[in-house]
Structure 1
Amino acid sequence: MQEQSEKELPFQGEKLIQQDEQKKASKEQQKDILQSEQPSYKQKEYWNERYKFKQTYYDWYCGYEELKPIFEQCYNISKNAKILMIGCGNSKLSEDMFDDGYINIVSTDISDIVIEQMKESTQKKNKNMTFEVQDCTNLTYQDQTFDFVFDKGTLDALSCDKEEESVSKMLKEMMRVCKPQGSVVIVSFGQLHERKMVFQESLGFKQYSYELCQKYLSIDSQLTNIMRHVSNGLPINLVLKNKTLLLQTLIELRSVKSLLKNEVIQSLAIDWEQVTQIENIHEFQIQDEQKLKDEKDCFQNVENTSIEIQQDTNNKNGISNSDQNNQLANNPENQIKQDCSLKEHQTEISNKKQEGIDQKLAHQQDEEEEEEEKVDNLPQQQNQQIQEEKNKSESSISDQEEDHDSEEDKQKKPKFRRQTQCFIYRITHKS
């Protein structure tokens, strides 16, 4: 027996080495999938690796507490409605809705791992909920099966791949399985001008009606979003160790909290013709301002060149600088032409701006824009305090993260947009 055990020891050692190598390979593979520069959010492998190591609940943007007033006040969703949840992930939304009486929910995701996790979690709580593996771009359900089809974040994830085909397929599938009297609701970070083209090319505006409701993010999402913004994407653990970044985060969070208490929930119909007119006016203004800037630069370059040529000529002829200045003052023709041209362009811009004022959105939309400005523009004193603290901490941040980056790596780093609200789009069949 002793001889046999001694013979088995080398084999056991080899097995341990093989297992260790397999674990290392698995970790490297997971790192490659999750930390690639542009992860493929439409691939099952990415989400399986992600959920394999993150088995806790997490809600993107907002949870049921924030969405409940919209469901009840704006969309009047019946507790008996048959609901399809697209890309449920490890969100607690389905379970919270189930606890509130929505017992006819089918929650789906492309990741079989997260679906099994959600099944086990709800079964342990004796909740008879339905979770199924589905590809949102190729659903297996029959036409007109559900009263309400809901997505929170899946459209945004697919949009990150910059592959319009996947996004288009998803929207068409959601509308296909939705009943004629039902509705599709999408919670997104994409603002109206960012989602307009997607809706237009995928579904069109003739067959469907669109509504928009803006909602502040949950406190948890606000905190994460602010941290990512103030640090420009540093890992959260580094932000938590940096007092300056924490101060910036808390100041912004306090500003947002004061607005959450007075939030007005309303869903407004989208007039796509009016949106297009405003976009065109804005585009014309940008073009005119750019044209004016280019002409200024052009005149400046011509003037600088003329001065250089004149200086060279004067130097050759022995003319002094004072004589040169007198010559320029006595010959103001170029300056007059420049002033006239600039005045003409300024007049054109003023006229087009006046036309834009006459075609702006209704009073309600103006109020929404003002509300957004209140959120985005912190008080001046807070901004000054943030800037001072930020300047002090630049060296410490670079020691932690940026000193080891090459110029090419720094250029690749994403710029995180500060956003306090999500945009809830409702799509219905026109009667």
Structure 2
Amino acid sequence: MNSSLLDGNYWDDRYKNKETGWDIGYASPAIVSYTEESIAKNARILIPGCGNAHEAKALLDKGFSQITLLDIAPSLVEKVSEEFAVSPDVQVICQDFFQHQGQYDYIIEQTFFCALHPSLRTSYVRQMLTLLKPHGILIGLLFKREFAQQGPPFGGNQEEYQQLFQSEFDILQLIDSSNSIPQRQGNELFIELQKKAAV
């Protein structure tokens, strides 16, 4: 699919029609485990392509206090905004990821990268660098498989991701996920990528 067609209207229609096969209905165990063990509760966290924001709900329950949610689908953002209306620790924004401005300690990747056309992957890396503070970290899950149908989702492999990220990030982890959900077991890589220090 042409990258220009994957716009807010496209994703809004997917949510309105409940065509959300990527939504597992709860926060990814791999992401929840990492956040509990490695992220300070006052860290500034961005979740782009937040969808129904299951990860944000889990973070909020665990006491995290600076969470920004970003999605391009207007009706979805309206729904999520209502759900978090009484939560001052969560900000919900309807915006294209590539237009977003801010500075974050951590960015959480959960089925956002795979929703973008592969032609946008270099731009994804550049925008992540812009949004992360010095030594900031991008963590989450990427698919370790290709898909038979035309995407989204769009897949990939470990070697491809290594090439994509290694010039701008220190790759702390790019490994098989040990606690993926059952239906994705063996098909996901866990990433922990730290923005390189400016030379």
Within 5 Å, give how 1:349-428 maps onto structure 2.
419-428=185-194
Picking from 37, 46, 49, the partner of 1:84 is 46
2:157 corresponding residue in structure 1: 194
> CA contact under 8 A between 1:64 and 1:96: conserved in structure 2?
no
Aligned in 2, Cα 1:127/1:206: closer, same or farther, shift over 3 Å?
closer
Counting matched residue pairs gives: 183
5+ long unaligned stretches in structure 1: 1-37, 226-418
1:209 corresponding residue in structure 2: 170
Deviations, residues 383-402 of structure 1 (Å, cap 9, x unaligned)? xxxxxxxxxxxxxxxxxxxx
Q: Are 1:103 and 2:65 matched, yes or no?
A: yes
Q: Are 1:116 and 2:74 matched, yes or no?
A: no
Deviation at 1:67, TM superposition (A): 2.4
Deviation at 1:207, TM superposition (A): 4.0
> CA contact under 8 A between 1:175 and 1:184: conserved in structure 2?
no
Q: Distance in 1 between matches of 2:63 and 2:129?
A: 25
Provide the identity percentage: 23
Counterpart code for 1:218: I
Counterpart code for 1:168: T
Q: Distance in 1 between matches of 2:40 and 2:28?
A: 15
Counterpart code for 1:424: F
1:149 corresponding residue in structure 2: 107
Aligned in 2, Cα 1:72/1:420: closer, same or farther, shift over 3 Å?
same
2:149 corresponding residue in structure 1: none
Q: Distance in 1 between matches of 2:157 and 2:13?
A: 30
> CA contact under 8 A between 2:29 and 2:180: conserved in structure 1?
no
Aligned in 2, Cα 1:71/1:171: closer, same or farther, shift over 3 Å?
same
2:136 corresponding residue in structure 1: 182
| Secondary structure of 1:428's aligned partner | strand
Q: Are 1:139 and 2:102 matched, yes or no?
A: no
Counterpart code for 1:69: S
> CA contact under 8 A between 1:156 and 1:190: conserved in structure 2?
no
> CA contact under 8 A between 1:215 and 1:421: conserved in structure 2?
no
Aligned in 2, Cα 1:105/1:122: closer, same or farther, shift over 3 Å?
same
Bigger helix share = 1
> CA contact under 8 A between 2:139 and 2:190: conserved in structure 1?
yes
The RMSD of aligned alpha carbons is: 2.9
Deviation at 1:112, TM superposition (A): 1.4
Q: Structure 1-normalised TM-score? A: 0.38
| Secondary structure of 1:151's aligned partner | strand
Q: Distance in 2 between matches of 1:194 and 1:139?
A: 27
Q: Structure 2-normalised TM-score? A: 0.77
| Secondary structure of 1:197's aligned partner | helix
Q: Please identify the structure whose Cα radius of gyration is greater.
A: 1
> CA contact under 8 A between 1:207 and 1:430: conserved in structure 2?
yes
Picking from 15, 20, 34, the partner of 1:70 is 34
1:429 corresponding residue in structure 2: 195
Aligned in 2, Cα 1:170/1:207: closer, same or farther, shift over 3 Å?
closer
Aligned in 2, Cα 1:178/1:188: closer, same or farther, shift over 3 Å?
same
Q: Distance in 2 between matches of 1:64 and 1:429?
A: 23
Deviations, residues 292-331 of structure 1 (Å, cap 9, x unaligned)? xxxxxxxxxxxxxxxxxxxxxxxxxxxxxxxxxxxxxxxx
Counterpart code for 1:154: F
Q: Distance in 1 between matches of 2:78 and 2:170?
A: 36
Aligned in 2, Cα 1:122/1:54: closer, same or farther, shift over 3 Å?
farther
Counterpart code for 1:43: D
Q: Distance in 2 between matches of 1:65 and 1:197?
A: 25
